[in-house]
Chains A and B, each alone.
Chain A
């Protein structure tokens, strides 16, 4: 039987952690772009946008991420698209992130006082000028802390991609456990690595939140 050192375990986990980071960033950025589009559609009151986006958000917030991953994986395969776990995971996580970010940002826009809209309207600004020069700058400031905070959820969400076979940190942990028969040690290391990824982000989000409230 091969003896595995702690360093062997850590090295393999670290290599897999790269994929966790990559998937998180893709989902976060992609989800942010899609979410922004959904938000604009909702604010600008394009026909049917309100109902569609509300339903979209309800769908992703009211169902397990695991199911969303399964549906992406098996659904894409149905339509003949050659899916790897990587593509399905990226797709599912991007849509998941877009729904949550859209909802977070909608709350931030709603937090801008009505008087700001009215003052801008009274000055003869049209809707896109009101949004661009008065409302969005204020909403963005409010949105920074919760958006950064959601990155933590995305990183944790990538762990579920292991179930559809994507080899990121959690899947590597499972594989190494099967090889070394040391689940306590291995999963402790896995948890520690997620903690090292997420905790700084959580702290940053909290610091940003405090900074926002101090300025008021």
Chain B
């Protein structure tokens, strides 16, 4: 039994693959920014907010972390329109990814905030900073630095998870692979190449985030 592979047939469709990569990265970038922002807000709410808000955030976090992303995505894209909210595939994908990342980021950032030494709060108070200023300038940067590896890993997980968004016709990388194999029937080759690209993206994005974080968010070796 001879198995013939034809990788060139897939690679010839590189514009489609590139388009998919661009969308995957774009979705990830937007979701990372909004998702981490949401996570920080939730972490703040959980440590500083009123009791009822803490409960709401807690319920949100547990709900998201104990259900599969694909179900969340289908709920947003198929379920919400039935309740009156119509969404494009791309919007639905971003919303689902942001909501998903937000829940995980909330837990990760909360762990970082909880590890803030008591003395930092005391120093900030004696410098007459208010609660918001203390949080943004004193507590958050070292907390983010501490949990940056975990946060980076979670962003990578969300990026890899975005492969599912192709199922609702978001034109990211897995959608491109699906499209290619439906045209030339080279399913295995298409998915191998897409998988390889995802691996490179994962490595690349991790490196990028490790470079980006210290530079722009929490300051190199200080703190």
Touch between chains A and B, by CB atoms below 8 Å: yes
**8 A Cβ contacts from A13-31 to B:** none
Docked-complex contact A75 and B71, CB < 8 angstroms: no
Interface-located stretch among B41-49, B61-69, B118-126, B129-137: B61-69
Given contacts A78-B3, A184-B79, contact A194 B199 (CB under 8 A): no
Interchain nearest-CB distance for B153 vs A (Å): 9
Docked-complex contact B199 and A184, CB < 8 angstroms: no
Interface-located stretch among A106-114, A120-128, A135-143, A152-160: A152-160
Docked-complex contact A195 and B66, CB < 8 angstroms: yes
Docked-complex contact A160 and B66, CB < 8 angstroms: no
Provide the residues of chain A in CB contact with B63, threshold 8 Å: 191, 195
The complex places the Cα of A70 from the Cα of B163 at a distance, in Å, of: 11
Work out how many contacts link A and B, with CB atoms closer than 8 A. Answer: 112
Interchain nearest-CB distance for B95 vs A (Å): 14
A163 touches B (CB below 8 Å):
yes
Is chain A's interface secondary structure helix, strand, loop, or mixed overall?
helix
Q: Please, what's the 1-or-0 string for A173-203, where 1 marks a CB less than 8 Å from any CB in chain B?
A: 1100100001111111011001100110010
Q: Which of B67, B72, B198 is close to A63, meaning CB atoms less than 8 Å apart? A: B198
Residue of A nearest to B81 (CB): A183
Docked-complex contact A80 and B1, CB < 8 angstroms: yes
Determine the interface band of chain A, counting residues with CB < 8 A from chain B. 35 or more
Docked-complex contact B79 and A156, CB < 8 angstroms: no
Interchain nearest-CB distance for A123 vs B (Å): 37
Provide the residues of chain B in CB contact with A68, threshold 8 Å: 195
Provide the residues of chain B in CB contact with A174, threshold 8 Å: 74
Interchain nearest-CB distance for B78 vs A (Å): 4
The complex places the Cα of A160 from the Cα of B198 at a distance, in Å, of: 17
B109 touches A (CB below 8 Å):
no
The complex places the Cα of A163 from the Cα of B75 at a distance, in Å, of: 16
Provide the residues of chain A in CB contact with B78, threshold 8 Å: 177, 183, 187
Q: Please, what's the 1-or-0 string for B120-162, where 1 marks a CB less than 8 Å from any CB in chain A?
A: 0000000000000000000000000000000000001000111
Provide the residues of chain A in CB contact with B71, threshold 8 Å: 159, 170, 173, 187, 190-191, 194
The complex places the Cα of A124 from the Cα of B123 at a distance, in Å, of: 53
Q: Please, what's the 1-or-0 string for B173-208, where 1 marks a CB less than 8 Å from any CB in chain A?
A: 010010000000001100110110011001100000
Additional A-B contact list (11), CB under 8 Å, known A157-B68, A188-B79: A63-B160, A67-B163, A67-B191, A68-B195, A71-B191, A74-B187, A74-B191, A162-B70, A163-B164, A191-B63, A191-B67
Q: Could you list 27 A-B pairs, sorted by A, with CB under 8 Å?
A: A58-B199, A63-B198, A64-B160, A64-B174, A64-B195, A66-B163, A67-B191, A68-B195, A74-B188, A156-B68, A160-B70, A160-B164, A163-B167, A182-B82, A183-B74, A183-B75, A183-B81, A184-B79, A185-B82, A187-B71, A187-B75, A187-B78, A188-B75, A190-B71, A191-B63, A191-B71, A195-B66
Residues of chain B whose beta carbon lies under 8 Å from any beta carbon of chain A: 1, 3, 62-63, 65-72, 74-75, 78-83, 156, 160-164, 167, 174, 177, 187-188, 191-192, 194-195, 198-199, 202-203
